[in-house]
Amino acid sequence: MEALPVTLVDYGVGNIHSLAKAFEIAGAKVSVESDLSRTASGRCLLFPGVGAFGKVAGQLAPIRRQIRDLLEAGTPAFAVCIGMQILHESSEEGEGEGIGLFPGRVRRLAHSRLPHIGWNGVRHDASGPFRGVAQSSFFYFVHSYAPSACGEGCIATADYGGPFAAASVRASTWAVQFHPEKSSEAGLRVIRNFVEFAGERR
């Protein structure tokens, strides 16, 4: 079977290589695109983390509307950590406008100890990303901000000083606050689920 072509959108954040490697293990062929004007040519997009909302919003500002149009039209996309946050409307972390695919504002976690680093259980609805993933499986998080409400599109939550959205889905976009590439077999299963899902839409 031909490998799924995935365009990793390089907007200047860290940790792109381990994420790309995990997708390749799952059956994708990842190309890193730092020329954001060429992002629209990608048939499947990958929005990585770790990073800061304001910086990423600034990087994506020239193509913000274009990206939202692509995602609303059904272009498969997978977003991780800051990648998930930037798909929302705005953030307490910094200025700038998000893509707005998901409604709401990203907020600072209410816990007294930040950042939230380490393993945490995730409650999910067993659909899409979590097909075949045991309920309350543990995933690896590194963040201080997250969508605080489980609103439109939210399919999973975690708790750290209060509940927050751990995963959301809209159209063909899957977004997770945790790092699946660092989350052992459960995380790799989420990535494999997306590669299979996106491959069926080619």
**SS3 state at 151:** coil
Cβ atoms of 158 and 116 closer than 8 Å: no
Q: Could you confirm whether 181 is annotated as catalytic?
A: yes
**SS3 state at 200:** coil
End-to-end CA distance of the chain: 13
**SS3 state at 107:** strand
Q: Count other Cβ atoms within 10 Å, centred on residue 161.
A: 13
Q: Which of 93, 143, 154, 181 is catalytic?
A: 181
Task: Name every residue whose Cβ is closer than 8 Å to that of residue 44 and which is 6 or more positions away in sequence.
Answer: 4, 5, 6, 7, 28, 75, 76, 77, 198
Q: Could you confirm whether 81 is annotated as catalytic?
A: yes
Q: Which of 33, 44, 81, 150 is catalytic?
A: 81
Q: Give dist(CA 95, CA 164) in Å, integer.
A: 21
Q: Which residues are catalytic?
A: 81, 179, 181
